[in-house]
Amino acid sequence: MKQVFTIILILAFSLTAFGQTKTAKDYGFTHLQFDYKSDKVDILVKSKKGEEHIKKPLMFFCQGSLPRPLIMYDEKGIFRVFPFIPDSFMVKYHVVIVGKPCIPVMRDIKTLNSNYCYVDSAGNYTKEYSDRNLLNYYVDRNIKVIKYLQKQKWVSNKELVLAGHSEGSTVAAKMASCSHVATRLIYSSGNPMGRIMSIIQQNRAIETDSLRSGEEMMMYWQNIVMDKTNMDATHGDAYKATYGFSYPPMEYLEKLKIPVLICYGTKDWCAPFVDYMRVDFIRNGKTNFQFNPYLGTEHNYYPVTKENKPNYDMPNWDRVANDWLKWMEQK
């Protein structure tokens, strides 16, 4: 006998009564699947209600790291699929997000680990995910997904905004450099000198004479470089993944001719390197880049307290997204 759930409205959606299986459509998404090599790729499209078939350009968002389902929920309702509320973007765009490889598109958080990651029975990332968790995989896959979407009658090819946060910023930046279909790029909380520099910076901040964590990360990087094709992901990302994401995105960002918006919190580990890129681009007279620093905020734009901890009572993501929208509306 099916258990009866209480209906709770949250984020403009409702949970299901009587335990029937929910789908992405129940949460306001169009769910598409695309065949990439031997994989089924899950694509979620968020459109303004009633305008799902109206021809509009795409805003393609690349999420950050970790093997998390796109739609996560508990007894209270759905978690945010995007870190920002996409409603304002949906007036002009269909907003797209693509799932992590071999990760279910929907999951109750009870089935995930404490970081909301989908893991195997031993608590490790699944081999299927880790084998594909590579920069070049994401870039090639996403470009092919966009080509597929742009063949649909409801998609306009006159404009394409690529946006990415954290790890996703690196993916989006390389997509823009490898493909000429993007008309704008939003690079959010990325490290233009590569992932390893954020890891080292974070460990330098807590390093002492007895806790030489920064130096340990230097040795970690040395090991990665010496064995950069290693795909063992038992303890997290494989060396090959970290090596790929640690190539400095600045080297292909600086070659872009399209408008680029760079957003970052000034208390983020990546901030000194974004400031360096900003200084360098000013020196070289690059005018297609706009830099939006968010003073006193960290990686996800939360203000940092005097104790150097995020103040989760003061979220800023929607303010950041509103700034994105203003920039996208500029000629």
Same domain, 179 and 312: yes
Instruction: Tell whether 164 and 223 lie within a shared domain.
Output: no
Is position 187 within any domain?
Answer: yes
Number of domains comprising the chain:
2
CB 15 within 8 A of CB 7: yes
Scanning the chain, the segments in alpha helix (DSSP H) are 127-130, 135-149, 167-178, 195-204, 213-226, 239-245, 250-253, 271-283, 317-328
- Give a yes or no: residue 3 inside a domain: no
Is the same domain home to 264 and 274?
Answer: yes
What is the rounded average pLDDT of the residues 21-25?
A: 88
Paired tokens of 89: 């973007």
User: What mean pLDDT value characterizes the chain?
Assistant: 92
In a shared domain, residues 124 and 66: yes
pLDDT at 21: 74
- Statement to judge: residues 24 and 124 lie in one domain: yes
| Per-residue pLDDT, 167 | 98
- Our CA dihedral for 194, 200, 202, 207, rounded to 10 degrees, sits at -170
Please report which confidence band the pLDDT of residue 20 belongs to, taking 50, 70 and 90 as the band edges: low
pLDDT at position 179? 87
Stretch 215-222: mean pLDDT:
96
pLDDT at position 235, please? 83
Whether residue 173 sits in one domain with residue 106: yes
pLDDT of the residue at 233: 93
Q: Structure tokens of 226?
A: 């010496």
User: Do residues 29 and 159 share a domain?
Assistant: yes
pLDDT tens for each residue of 268-292: 999 999 999 999 999 999 999 999 9
Furthest CA-CA distance within the chain: 69
- pLDDT on residue 8: 29
Q: What average pLDDT does this structure show over 19-23?
A: 70
Which carries the bigger pLDDT value, residue 43 or residue 235?
43
- Domain presence at residue 305: yes
Same domain, 90 and 166: yes
**Domain annotation covers residue 1:** no
Confidence of residue 11 (pLDDT cuts 50, 70, 90): very low
Compute the distance between CA of residue 299 and CA of residue 308 in angstroms, rounded to an integer.
12
3-state DSSP helix/strand/coil percent for the chain, to nearest 5?
30, 25, 45
CB 300 within 8 A of CB 317: yes
61 vs 21, residue with greater confidence = 61
Q: What pLDDT, on a 0 to 100 scale, did the predictor assign at position 281?
A: 98
Q: CATH number of the domain that 47 lies in?
A: 3.40.50.1820
Quick: pLDDT tens for 97-140. Answer: 999 999 999 999 999 999 999 999 999 999 999 999 999 999 99
Is residue 197 over pLDDT 60? Answer: yes
pLDDT > 70? residue 17: no
Rounded distance between C-alpha atoms, residue 87 and residue 316, angstroms: 16
**Domain enclosing residue 56, as ranges:** 9-193+250-328
pLDDT for position 209: 79
**Rounded Cα distance, 85 and 210, in Å:** 44
- Tell me how far apart the alpha carbons of residues 157 and 153 are, in angstroms, rounded to a whole number: 10
Question: For residue 4, is it within any domain?
Answer: no
Closest C-alpha to 143, from 175, 100, 187, 95:
175
| pLDDT: which is higher, 242 or 307 | 242
Q: For residue 82, what pLDDT is reported?
A: 97
